[in-house]
Amino acid sequence: MKRALFPGSFDPITLGHYDIIKRGIKLFDEVIVAIGINADKNYMFSLEERQLFIENAFKNEPKVKVVTYEGLTIDFCKKIDAQFILRGLRNPADFEFEKAIAHTNRKLSKIETVFLLTAAKTSYISSSIVRDVIRNNGDYTVLVPDSVTIK
């Protein structure tokens, strides 16, 4: 089974993330969306909310699983037998950052990183932009899947 881990904080999941996951399920038998837990980060949405947003977005897709994890991504990949890390690239800055992480991960393990370019229509969207739109009472709904709702 070809299993890929798609790690991130997903605070919140965006249409860009959604697109990468949808395209990833065409390439892999299973895509594990893994929400990393980082105690040093201040999140807008709770871990439970972020997990629910993703689970609801993919409730009809059996090839997508949503989990949480702590520690090194490659250690978690080994634990769940994921042979690949799936990452989306929006721009050259993303590539440079992700390339360094991918090289490090390959040096420390045999896990390959697979990069997908984001769709042109979502390449400008980031979770930090979405959070800024939300903080300023803008229409965030055009940037995220329908499952993302503000209470």
Q: φ and ψ at 117, to 5 degrees?
A: -75, 140
Q: How many domains does the chain have?
A: 1
> What is residue 41's predicted lDDT score, i.e. its pLDDT?
85
How far, in Å, CA of 52 to CA of 42, rounded?
18
Domain containing residue 13: 3-142
- 147, part of any domain: no
């990183």: which residue's tokens? 113
Active-site positions? 17, 41, 90, 127
CATH label of the domain that carries residue 118: 3.40.50.620
How long is the chain? 151
Helix (H, G, I), strand (E, B) or coil at 37: coil
pLDDT in tens, the chain (151 residues): 999 999 999 999 999 999 999 999 999 999 999 999 987 889 999 999 999 999 999 999 999 999 999 999 999 999 999 999 999 999 999 899 999 999 999 999 999 999 999 999 999 999 999 999 999 999 999 999 999 998 7
